[in-house]
Structure 1
Amino acid sequence: MGGGSFRVRAATRPTIRPPPRGAGPPCRTGPTVGRVNVFTRFLPRWRSPLRGPWLTSVFAVALLVGIPVLFVTGLLSYAAYNPELTPVNDKTPDKGLLGFYLFSWPTHPYWLYRLTQGVHVTLGIVLVPVLLAKLWSVVPKLFELPPVRSVVHGLERLSLLLLVGGALFEFVTGVLNVQLQYLFPGSFYPLHFYGAWVFIGAFLAHVALRLPRTVRTLRRRSLRDPRDLRTELRTPAARTRPELPDATGLVPRDPAPPTTSRRGALAMVGLGSLTLFVVTAGQSIGGSLRGTALLAPHGRDPGSGPNGFQINKGMRSARIQERDIGPDWRLTVRGGARRSVLTRPQVARLPRHTAALPIACVEGWSTSDQEWEGVRLADLAALVGLGDAPPAVFVESVQRQGSFRMVALSAEQVRDPRSLLALRVNGADLSPDHGYPARVIVPGAPGVMNTKWVRQLNFGESTWPT
């Protein structure tokens, strides 16, 4: 212009450097400064180079096998109480449709409840390290932003919230119950039952959304070429590298130096589970292994002699007075319009039989088979004219307060020849803590259904208290 001259500077493109090895895609959500989400400044930095889809998938497979077993054995534990027989047996009366599967609990095999509840409690405790490791491996997902990106992502996030919350609730309440620490706000039975249904619903939804990705991850690194798995498990900490970034967002963008290998992480989790198995399983297996059950509240030495086996609630904790079980104790047997009142010597003169049966409790502990001696429940029904087809019976204890001081037993349980009103065990009279002067023992029934300090048997629902 006006004889002057000017030069136009060529536009230059900014240099874009490639992200460091192991970095994920740049954050593109939320208010940003440059390329950094301002909200992430307030979040923890998850830098472990071990995190990634493969390690998470390994933990997921272990839980995928274990959690359904926990759920099924938990449902069986509830069914074992025969809750539909009478409201007295049902500690979750508002279950509604959730009780669709209930059935009359069998007496064969006699060790059924010992097996199912032992598996339920032991497996639940053994899976604690696996659950914690799985939560650790996905903790960055709990804080990702924005919380919801689409309808599908929102459903996944909701299932994740219910899954994590449900898992923590179920495992914490279960462990507290096993340790006899009733710190939850309400009865354990409905809390654990309803919590299990919420948890399993979230679990199934999460599996439906995540299982295809888990299978692809394991196939890519474990199943397609077994050498990849062997290489991974042989890699020491010094050579451990982050996984390649993918859509999961689990791989750290700025990984810290490894302090252990993935092999070491798996070994620590496995060793933790094995240790918990060793210090827990003895309470269910019994015998000489009971001494290894260091975490079992009933792992202490119960003493020696014929009555030297575990109890859940003794005479004092049940507030049984000496006069309640002294010489004035009477057994009342009712059936229809008939009624019979017997002293203990009179009960002892009735035909007696023996049965080798264990005691198995909801907390997971059980005894080995004990030799019980007493009068068959069916023979007691015959005293009031019901010997041909003994009906269900309502059992009452001298215990005045507490759950299961009254229970109902099904007709099938009454008719089993091993179902006894026991007077003796292992060749000696019952001790007061084991139910003297008489207790019920039924094959396959939970321990609380084997009522101690029995005072009355009501055969036939017409005689049951309302």
Structure 2
Amino acid sequence: MARSANSPLTPFSPAFWRSPLRGPWLTSVLGIVLLGGITVLFVTGLVSYAAYNPNLAPVNDKTPEKGILGFYLFSWPTSPHWLYRLNQGVHVTLGITLIPVLLAKLWSVLPKLFTLPPARSLAHALERISLLLLVGGALFEFVTGVLNVQLDYLFPGSFYTLHFYGAWVFIGAFVVHAVLKTPTALRNLRRMREGKEVGTGEGTGEGTGEEDRELIAPSPAAPTVSRRGALWFVGGGSLLLFATTVGQNFDGFLRRTALLAPHGGAEPGSGPGGFQINKTAAYAGIREADTSDEAWRLVVEGRDGRTVRLSRAELLDMPLYSAALPIACVEGWSTSDQWWRGVRLRDLAALVGHDQDPPDVLVESLQQRGAFRRAALRANQVADSRSLLALFVNGEDLTPDHGYPARIIVPAAPGVLNTKWVARLTFGDL
């Protein structure tokens, strides 16, 4: 039935949507960009989760009810030593860079959320359901990701659980939607390359299907920008976000360009310990009385309950080794390689009866507040000659904020597994 001239326009009225930019062409271009970008985000997100070794011990597993969703988990390697730095830098930087593309894509398909009837066929119903889950899941994943990056350890709720399950809901809807819409998107792009108009909002919209014509305004307003101009605007926004975020993956001047990243700007201090951190000693509740050379002792426990207690001076009498390794965190920031020196973890395991094939280890910290006060490392991480209980960094004693009197440093491990202010190491099956 035709709409009365006096009837108010609502989002359910096709005439409500008047932008001449909406159409299959714009939606297809944005969709292809997101198809590639979100695939990379999903894969790097799974890899990041695996890096925490959640199947190793309950202290590492922030999603204990994951069930079959953890089918892909594997023992995290220690080489190359920059693996987690690269993975998480790509994951976070790409996610932030894609925000304008995602928002433009959601804007471009907004009329489809209000089309009536809700479903014309089974395929159309699946497409509508996948679209709703896709929109909701995308917003949820991007919002929780940005909140975690910006709020650091102040994230409201369990980020790991929320982001993990949200990712699986989103990717399920994404796959269904991609299967249904990719052929149409490719067909539209092919017609564009052939110089044919695809859904401009003018004329008959020849070459477009019924569902694609839903995006074309029946009475478009006068254009103020071309479709290519709109893409340049979106691309410019993405480039701006990239330029003001990517610097947090580097040291020196480039970090100062990361204006939108919490770990952008100047380094927190100067000298050997003047590089980025997440948790300060004050935040973690570290008391000087507990870390003084007189009071602090490292407790190492191993086979058959064998236990040794070591002062820092006794650790310094052991063979010391060096390793150049970065710090890289889930929030996307990282440092360049720092020069660490300390006692190998496998040598500490040998002190308590694990002379051959060192086992997993549970590391406990003096920290009183914050996540990952306890963390587990796999046997392959313990066995690596670069895995240290570090006592020095860049030629000087660790600073309090970098974990004095001793901290863990392991190649390719997420920053939170490089436990600071270590108090106890328990070697054995976890």
Task: Give the TM-score normalised by the residue count of structure 1.
Answer: 0.86
Q: Which residue of 2 aligns with 1:75?
A: 46
- Counterpart CA distance in 2 for 1:87 and 1:37 is 64
- Matched with 1:304 is 270
Are residues 1:333 and 2:300 paired? yes
Distance in 1, Cα, partners of 2:222 & 2:183: 31
Match of 1:358 in 2: 326
Query: Following TM superposition, by how much is the alpha carbon of 1:35 offset from its aligned partner in structure 2, in angstroms?
Result: 8.2
> Which amino acid is 1:172 matched to?
V
Go from structure 1 to structure 2 and tell me whether the alpha carbon gap of 1:257 and 1:369 turns closer, same or farther (over 3 Å shift): same
How far residue 365 of structure 1 moved from its aligned partner, in angstroms, is 0.2
Is the alpha carbon distance of 1:371 and 1:183 closer, same or farther for their aligned partners in structure 2, counting shifts above 3 Å?
closer
Contact 1:280 1:294 in 2 (8 A): yes
Return the match for 2:182 from 202, 208, 211.
211
1:165 corresponds in structure 2 to: 136
The structure-2 alpha-carbon separation of the partners of 1:183 and 1:134, relative to structure 1 and needing over 3 Å to count, comes to farther
Aligned-partner SS, 1:87: coil
Instruction: Give CA-to-partner distance per residue, 1:116-157, whole Å, 9 cap, x none.
Output: 111000000000000011111111111111222222211111
Among 250, 254, 261, which residue is 1:289 paired with? 254
- Residue segments in structure 2 that go unaligned for 5+ positions in a row: none
**Cα–Cα, structure 1 residues 115 and 54, in superposed 2: closer, same or farther, change >3 Å?**
same
Q: Please, which runs of 5 or more residues in structure 1 have no aligned partner?
A: 1-31, 233-239
Equivalent residue, structure 2, for 1:54: 25
Paired residues for 1:96-115 under 5 Å: 96-115=67-86
CA 1:37–1:376: 2 relative to 1, 3 Å: farther
- Check the 8 A contact 2:11/2:111 in 1, yes or no: no
2:310 to 334, 342, 366: 342
For residues 273-284 of structure 1, the aligned pairs below 5 Å read 273-284=238-249
- Deviations along 1:181-218, one digit per CA (max 9) or x if unpaired, are 67875200000000000000000000111111111111
Question: What is residue 401 of structure 2 aligned with on the other side?
Answer: 433
Judge which range, 269-278 or 295-304, deviates more.
295-304
2:343 to 364, 370, 375: 375
Runs (4+) off by over 3 Å: 33-44, 181-185, 240-244
One-letter code of the match for 2:297? R
Alignment pair present for 1:422 and 2:390: yes
Equivalent residue number for residue 444 of structure 1: 412
| Structure 1 position 266, deviation (Å) | 0.7
- The aligned residue for residue 6 of structure 1 is none
Quick check: 1:320 aligned with 2:283? no
Percent of residue pairs identical: 66
Residue of structure 1 equivalent to 2:364: 396
Residues 244 and 324 from structure 1, CA distance in 2 versus in 1: closer, same or farther, beyond 3 angstroms? farther
Q: Is the 8 A contact 2:152 2:331 kept in 1?
A: no
* CA drift at 1:285: 3.4
1:99 and 1:400 map into 2 onto residues whose CA distance is 30
Offset at 1:243?
7.2
Distance 1:91 1:139, change over 3 A: same
- Separation in structure 2 between the aligned mates of residue 67 and residue 36 of structure 1, nearest angstrom: 44
* Structure-2 separation of matches of 1:103 and 1:191: 21
Q: Deviations over 1:409-453 (max 9, x none)?
A: 111000000000000000110000000000000000000000000
Measured in 2, the distance between the counterparts of 1:450 and 1:184 equals 21
Is 1:454 aligned to residue 419 of structure 2?
Answer: no
What RMSD over aligned residues (CA atoms) do the two structures have, in Å? 2.0
Q: Distance in 1 between matches of 2:154 and 2:357?
A: 45
Q: Which amino acid aligns with 2:59?
A: V
**Which of 235, 251, 257 is residue 222 of structure 2 equivalent to?**
257
Highest CA radius of gyration, 1 or 2?
1
Q: 1:95 to 1:36 in 2, by over 3 A?
A: farther
Distance 2:6 2:386 in 1: 70
CA contact (8 A) 2:148 2:155 kept: no
Count, aligned residues: 419
Query: What is the aligned partner in structure 2 of residue 5 from structure 1?
Result: none
- Is the contact made by 1:306 and 1:428 (CA closer than 8 Å) also made in structure 2? yes
Pair 345,86 (structure 1): closer, same or farther in 2 beyond 3 Å: same
1:188 and 2:159 matched: yes
Is the 8 Å Cα contact of residues 85 and 334 (structure 2) preserved in structure 1?
Answer: yes
